[in-house]
Chains A and B, each alone.
Chain A
Amino acid sequence: MTLQQIYFGYFATMMTIISLLVVSRKNPVHSVLWMLVLFVHMAGLYLFLNAEFLAAVQIIVYAGAIMVLFLFVIMLLNLRKEEKEFRLQKQWPVSAVTAVLFLVVLVSILGKITVLPELGEYSIDMINAQGSLMTIGNVLYTKYLLPFEIASVLLLVAIVGAVVLAKKRIE
């Protein structure tokens, strides 16, 4: 068992366990905190797949911004008092079966994939030479310029939308 496999095994098991915890916690705050831990592990995995920039983004954006936002909302709505009822909906077995079926189908598909598309020209060492941030920046601002601009517009729309929605209605 090479060092890499042990490294991956740790991360895989930890991420599975944490995601199970995130899903099953009665108290939403605990879920969010476990989610944070999950993000940290994901950042570690990204580093392992030498996507340093993404690891950073993952930590800053996901963990830092989105999870904080969730915490704010949970605190705002002081949800803790509703923990008495049963967490799951009445037809949870159906969704459990669906989820498991999904898993089975996805995994069984792997067996079907026989031919791998040919490798792209961005080999790992070429990225390390430039630094992953540089390469992503080059490609982002040349080939994917339009999606980038659209993404910015999308964010703008989200901001405006969030503000409008959360504003107090003036009747």
Chain B
Amino acid sequence: MENMIMNQLDYPILSWTVFLPLIGIPILLLIRNAKAIRWTTLLMTIITFFVSLPLLCGFDKTTYKMQFVEKSEWIPSWGINYLIGIDGISIFFILLTTLLSILCVLVSWKSVGTKVKEFHIAILAMETGMLGVFVAMDFFLFYLFWEAMLIPMFILIGVFGGENRVYAAVKFFLYTLAGSLLMLVGIVVLYLYGGRTLDIMALSQIQYPIKMQYWLFMAFFAAFAVKVPMFPVHTWLPDAHTEAPTAGSVILAGVLIKMGAYGFLRFSMPMLPDATLFFSGPILVLSIIAIIYGALVCFAQKDFKRLIAYSSVSHMGFVTLGLFALNTQGMEGGILQMVNHGVITGAMFLMIGMIYERTHTRVIADYGGFAKLVPWYAGFFMVLTFASIGLPGTNGFIGEFLIIFGAFKANMILGVFAATGIILGAGYMLTLYQKIFFQDADPDYEFSGKHPVRDLELREVITLLPLFVLIFWIGFYPNTFLEYMHSSVEHLLQQVNQNVYAGGENVFAKYIMEIF
């Protein structure tokens, strides 16, 4: 257990954070009226958030070792134990999840009228599932949470969604399931080869034969690529987003997508270093395609949410680009961009949900001249548009700049292509903003005069406030967040490049350099 620091606090903080929402569910079952349900769920999520806060201050930034580790026998005969812990990489995702869960409950205060109890139970179960994935240090536990998380999401989309929600929910479920089954095969292979243990730390010490690494990498790639939505397998995302209720979209965009990239960081890279180096070239190319392809598709979208969904495909293309550039700036940029994307796109979906509550339409053509109707809303959305484009001073810029920097350092041509992503980003986001807020609506458009659309109310402003504070905090002072990552990223890079560690040089990237 040399690379783990057992839990220093007197109470098992991580177990509490993960299972507190689960404890909320039975309480919900007892309550009858909707109002009480909403307040209890809100209370539960807020408590979880405050329980997870001490993780930040108690965190020791200097070491790459896993912290707050809790270990206890679970299934001794197979060597499976309940082992959880966090490090520099996973700490922010936990806080992001607990924060976004509060906001999800707040945003669906009025929009979810029927089946309120089931909705809030699904959200709490969702939260536990997500937190579990980020803290699990044992493959069995990880896979358990990885699958458990699908069911509430399926319910959220399938029951509370839009018109053809069932198609979207089934597609989402099957896509992820198909990928994760391959991962299960990979886990079993690792279990058998790694000496009958499922402890991730132990498994990443072992040196696997090259050929096996390639196969294992492909298996894990299948599961994580679907989740990240990398280029060819991304079509479930727009459907899932357009059909999901606001809360579902926020969680989907905010946290669910990050698990794929987190999986690469936690499993593929440390355990299969040679395969990572070998596959980093193709993945870089795939991410470039994802960036440009995602952006181009956004130009032609008619549906508001679908456009933002495709834009998150493009943003996640940036993240994978950063991660697989395999140098410190790219990696840290990638992780920070994951948090940023969670904040920005999460906020954007919150706002789309709010306007959807009023206008009940997601078709962009129905909107027009909203800057006069709802000025505060327009202002807030303006900040989001520019954060998503990556304007300096907002968090989007820090992430994107570091990623492009990393990509450029890995290979100049990739850097140039990645940078075109910014121009395209500006293109479609501003066109969207102009169509909805600036242009005068066409006369037969029913929102301009008849029933005035009311501006943001206090509840909605409170929902958005924490995210906007984060946007400008990361934008102007990102070091508070970057400090947590330094040691973990450094360690990860050493693991990946241990045989070619020349300043984090990316072997394959040089190879591309010769071709171009």
Direct chain A–B contact by Cβ atoms under 8 Å:
no
Residues of A participating in the B interface, judged by any CB pair closer than 8 Å: none
Residues of B participating in the A interface, judged by any CB pair closer than 8 Å: none
